[in-house]
Each structure stands twice: as structure tokens, then as C-alpha cells.
């Protein structure tokens, strides 16, 4: 915990420095009170997808953040805004060339049932 899962359509083809992006996202999560040492991020490229009416150029990029419950709505909203800003900065070329929909979702992980080994 926290888990950051970035899913995107395979027509988002620009070069991305994943390590730099994930480091920036981890810093944003740390500012929301989660320890960076526990952050785990991954990107998943989707080949099978349908965006809007299916026109060519329709693309998506969706970040799901899983955090242990307990943060205020204000902290969560600030975190999702910051992450959306980071994604928009990183994927600016794709925003200009595709009909790219960016989104960020934060899910509270149930503190009592979330289990892990250090």
C-alpha cells in the first residue's frame, strides 16, 4: 500500500519515462501522508478497448490509486488533482494528437482487511 495502477489504451504511443512519472506520483502520494517506501506502481497497456463512439483516435489513460482509508475528502481531492496535473504534463503530446481522456480515481482500502508482508 499504496498501489498505483495506470491503465491506458495502446494508441497512446508516445515515449514515457515511467520511472520519472512514477517517482512524481509517489511524491504526490507522500504529500498526502503515505510513506513512499510502501508505494507500488505499474502501467498496463490495453489492446482491447472501446472509447466513446469508437472513432479512431479515441484514447484513455486512467490512474487508480489504492490507499488505506482514513484521509479527509480534501486530502483525497488534492491528491487526485495533483496526479491528474502530472498525467496531463507527461502526456501533453498525446493530448494534442489523440482524443485522450485522462482520469484519476482514489479507492480507500479497508484498513482492517488489507494484509501484506513487509
Q: Has residue 105 got a pLDDT over 80?
A: yes
pTM across the whole model = 0.94
Tell me the per-residue pLDDT of 32-72, one tens digit each, with 9 for 90 and over: 999 999 999 999 999 999 999 999 999 999 999 999 899 99
Q: Are the C-beta atoms of residues 21 and 59 closer than 8 Å to each other?
A: no
What superfamily would CATH give domain 3-109? Answer: Macrophage Migration Inhibitory Factor (3.30.429.10)
Tell me the per-residue pLDDT of 22-35, one tens digit each, with 9 for 90 and over: 999 999 999 999 99
Confidence of residue 111 (pLDDT cuts 50, 70, 90): confident
Closest by Cα among 19, 16, 18, 25 to 93: 16
Q: Where are the domains of the chain?
A: 3-109
* High-pLDDT (> 90) share of the chain, %: 89
Amino acid at each position: 500500500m499504496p498501489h498505483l495502477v495506470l491503465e491506458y489504451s495502446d494508441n497512446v504511443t508516445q515515449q514515457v519515462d515511467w520511472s520519472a512519472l512514477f517517482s512524481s506520483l509517489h511524491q504526490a502520494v507522500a504529500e498526502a501522508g503515505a510513506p513512499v517506501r510502501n508505494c507500488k506502481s505499474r502501467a498496463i497497456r490495453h489492446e482491447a478497448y472501446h472509447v466513446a463512439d469508437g472513432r479512431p483516435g479515441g484514447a484513455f489513460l486512467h490512474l487508480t490509486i489504492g490507499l488505506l482509508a482514513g484521509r479527509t475528502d480534501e486530502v483525497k481531492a488534492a491528491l487526485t488533482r495533483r496526479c491528474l496535473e502530472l498525467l496531463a504534463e507527461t502526456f501533453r503530446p498525446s493530448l494534442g494528437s489523440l482524443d485522450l481522456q485522462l482520469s484519476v480515481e482514489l479507492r480507500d482500502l479497508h484498513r482492517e482487511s488489507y494484509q501484506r508482508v513487509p
